[in-house]
Structure 1
Amino acid sequence: MIPLYKLRCNVHWFASPYAEIELPLEMARIHAVLDPWHREYGQRRLQTVFDAWRPYVKLTLRAEVIVNYLRSSLPVVVAMEAAYYGRLDVLRSIAIATLRSLTCPLLDIAAFNNQTSTVYFLHEVKHPWGFVPKSLDCAAMNNNLDLVCFLAEHRSDLPTNHALHYAAVNNNMQMVLYLQTKFPSLKLKAETFIQLIRDGHLDMARFLLENSPTAYDLSSDVMDYAACRGHLELVMWLHANRSAGCSKAAINLAAMNGHLEVVEWLTDNRHEGCTTHAMDWAAWKGHLNVVKWLHENRREGCSANALVLAHQAKQNAVVEWLLVHRSAEVLQPNAMVAAASRGNLELIQWMHQHVATGWSSKVMDAAAGGGHLDVLQWLHENRGEGCTTGAMDSALGRKLVPVAQWFHDNRGEGCSPSALFTAAWRPDLDVLVWLDKYMPSIWSTTNLTSAAKQAPIPIVEWLHVHRPEGFSNALLEDALLFQRRMDLAEWCYLHLDLKCSESIMSRLAATGCLSALQLIHKHQTEGWSSDVIDRAAQVGRLNVVKWLLEHRPETFTVNAVDGAANWGSLNVLTYLLQVQPGMPTTNAMDLAASNGQEEIVRWLAEHSTHGCTEKAIYGAARKGHLNIVKVLVNDAGQGHLAPRALEMLLQEECLATYQRHVVAWLTEYIQSVDPMEA
């Protein structure tokens, strides 16, 4: 017998989206332990067991945590099992104070398993925990009107729309009327009406639709499904009373099920039409009268699948009719492909005798993808179109190694590297072993590297051990840069002599992938250049910049400061000037001004003493940044550079409109300072 202290309930009723699926299985597992215990020891020992967890000696901190957890969890598990199976004897043996203190939804669990007496008892002892709307929904799901009424009268929370849904699909008119009267805000969605139509509860569907004209959110699926089931009266009512309408699927599905009167009515009264699926599916199901009507009254026609499906279903009368009246469509080149993909050897043999055109290598490729070895053998012996490497690729992609072996033994096309990639990425070791043995042409360093990029580590290890071609540097670099596969990058460093290039480090810094840079730092000393921190500074990757300054200080140069100023990364710029206060040069302000970084220019004007050159004023003026020009001249104290900047600007062959107003301002400024200079 399993000790009780090992019992756990692994279903979180509120958080798990699959609680309604998982709870019965979990309760059955717990019941298999508790039921024998109850039979052997009875209920009198329960409270004793609960109280026995109180320690009488001083425990270590870890032991105290474990004991406290067991004291709180064991009563919960026992009570949940008792509520689920209606064990009132067990619940009554637990102290009321203990029951009230349990933080588990006993009310919901009892209602879920239709334990009415247990719900009454838990309500009587004032068990506080339970999501009452869920309890009421569960009662409706179990078609328990008495429990629905009890919960609605004695609990204050409102039910959800699920309650009305369950009442409707259970075809319980009395419960529906009660819920609609008690909770008029409840609504239904299209799924409810689809289920009602599927189950044949048309009276309930009509009642709900007619008595709540605006409450329900319908979709075209409802009329589609009514047409599919052949309920013409309901289709007509929806057409007259609801705006959702239908889709092309309505005629398609009605035709498939042989409901000709529905097809006729929809054609006469609706505008959505249909697709080739209508005739294809009618042919498949043998509804020749529907096929003929569509042929005579609609223009969509059919596809090659009509013949393939009808032949496969042995609808001989339909096949004969299609060959006479729709031969242009059903004998298209893709008809052979469709027949081969479905393994319809008999139809392929018939078309071999009667159809001269349309045969191609795609036919054998399609048969391979479906694993139809008998079709492949027949095509190989009787047709000359052959196949492509896609045939073996498809077979291996579906793990059809015997089919691939047949191709290898009987044909010479082989496979493409795609077969290797698919086998590695899935992964499928059996296919890899087969490729290793029989397909030497697909193995190369490039292909091996591509296969390993998305493969799990055990497959990468297998490739490394069994193939001599080896991996290229792209395996490590792509793992770091594109896929963020730190596990693969770590493996590469530990087992291969691969190094990350300077350009990849720079791109990692620019994208902010600090974990990748830390991994490279751990395993590699080569390739660290100033471009790494420069790129991080340019795009404002402050966390990367801080880490590089701490762990790779040799990468820092003035270019990082200039780059941060140039690209407007103020957070990086301020940090760099805090740790390297004497670092900025005139180049920082020149670049910031020329690229319209007004915030950077203002900050440098206030905090930097290095100033700028005439290139700053010229660059800002050339791009029409008048505000920056004013900051440089008035706030940064660089007015003495204005004449030279204006001279450079006036050397432009043609000034744009946005440049002229800057020229006018500079001219006015210079004149106010030094009329002779102006």
Structure 2
Amino acid sequence: MHTALKVLRDFNLFQIIVHFQFGLPKELVEICCLAESIEIIPNYTDSSRTPTAYLSNIPPRFSNTSYIKQCNQVPNTNLFLKDHFKEPTLPLHLSIVENNGNHVELWIKNKPEWLSTAPLKLAAICGHLGIVQRLINASKNVWTPEAMDLAAMNGYLDIVIWLHNLENGPGCTIKAMDGAATYGHLQVVEFLNENRSEGCTFTALKMGASNGYSKVVEYLLTHLPKQHIDEGFTFFGYYGILTHQAVEEKDYIGVIQSLQSHSLSVSDIHENIIYAAVKENPLEYISRYNIYGITKKIFDEVIESGDQVAIRCAVEAIFQENDKPISLIHDEVVLDPWTPIDTEFALRSPWAQSSWKHSRAMDIAAALGNMEAIQLLHQTGIQCCSVAAISMASLIGRIDIVEWLYSNRNEGWSDTAMTFAATNGHLDMVKWLHGVAGLNCTEDGLASAAINGDIAMVSYLISIPMSDKAINVMDARRWLLSGLNKYLCPSNNRFRFLGLRSSPVDQAASNGHIEIVNLLHNFDATTNAMDEAVSNGHFDMVKYLHTSRKEGCTTHAIMNAVLVNRLDILKYLVENNCCHGVIKYEKVCLEATGCDNIEMLKFCMDQLQNDLQQSSKQCMMLKAATRGLLNNVKWLHESKGFGWTLLIRDNAEKRGRKRIVHYFDIIDKPEANALSEWDILQTNE
């Protein structure tokens, strides 16, 4: 009898029995369990074009599907879900994503109330014809013209044809052809144009051209001759989905050729198409389709291509456009400085720095290590170099280019060269800059070397004099406006352009480099050193800073220890009085309540000197409940006597915290609410 009672009183077993009392098949129960493990994270934003939530912790069987794999983050809009916190229909949508027709058939039978337009749209965008057919035949509640739109813009011609042939079917909208053209699906565009009457808008031609789909552009101009490109139009995507399936092959040269062959005016060919064509094939563009002349921005693209033949061809074109004999380029005589004339196209460009007077072509060549281009540009006399050239060459460690610029150009150099060389670990370059150009150590260079853990660089930099200059905010702004900033962040992400006179000790400490902090023992530091060491979980660094230096930390370190769930670090900070300032343990306890570490919560509560106000207690219970932390909720109630309110229960239920809701239902009655709307907003952040 005792064993039977124990089984009957098992809440988890009871919950399962009740939840599946209508006989949900076992394979669907598994999907429900997997759906429960997915976390839905609200995205609070004022923009109507951004998702309301993102999904994380998606099981591999779903996250590895082709549709979900194309997203770095998975917004709820991509799965046609709307709720911020929980989604009852998520299991059905997961079955659709993995193209499990049998499961979808079972969902239709067992959960007919889940059938809406959302599942059909998801099946269409995933390209699952069989599931589209099942859903269409199951209920007219799922019918929507958006299904064909989504299938069309993702290139699923089989779904488009099937939906088209469906008698009195849901049809489509003009977005079908617009979207198919936007993402390069020529066969879909052809089918829609030849078999349906919705047609398209100017978006089809504009986006097809902008995305480099020359065959689509040619088809539209041939069969829909009244097409035009509206430059006042801004494209925001379709149905809030940013990851539609697009044709990979691009042909911007072909787009230009097609637009020209159909006599579109030059103004109809957007400059972005020109720049894309130059990137795609600079030599062919210059030799065959140079419709705007070689503008400063086009020339920059040619320099970036690194194609030496194209670069020389572009220089010759510039000479011709400015009535200068091409023979001058071949005379090996350096011409006097001059500035090319801006074309009408360049003058009407909305982009900043479009004029030739802002040219930095030689700086770009230096950033890319293209000595041949640098020497050619020098010979032409075109004014396109600044002090940034030496800085950019220093960034990539090209001593040969720096030496050549130093000997042949008169723009000079700046301390930025030293910062860049030090940042990227080019010790020989740093030594040359100091020994030959007379540049000294910069604070930014030392700080960057310190955070990178480059002990050899740090050792050398502190052995030479320190520059009394620093890159200020305006200098940094000029770098951004020059367009050279894209070369400052190589793929290994070592570069940190600080510009804030940051302490090298602080930077080294933040990354846990104890040996470098020790090497910099004579340098000043701030409380940021320990604060950031805590944030990044470097316990040994925290202990070293406490025993070897005097800066200590701020209350941010206490909060950071809780945020990164490091009870060991928190105890050390508190027990050794590392913190300067008054620690507001009430706030710390609130943060700890949302941490899945009951020992952390207990420790923080033990530090309280005064009783908490009722509103504070309810804030803590609210945070634990909405995060789904049942152990924290139980401990707060059973050990500390915290109560609950209907508002707290409602918030937990809204987020699908079933175990929390059940716990509230079986304990004491709710107490009166003491929370304001502001308290709720702050607690749920």
* TM over 0.5, shorter chain: no
User: Which of 1 and 2 has higher RCO (CA within 8 Å, sep 6+)?
Assistant: 2
Name the TM tier (shorter chain): 0.3 to 0.5
Larger Rg: 1
TM-score scaled to structure 1, two decimals? 0.43
Higher helix share: 1
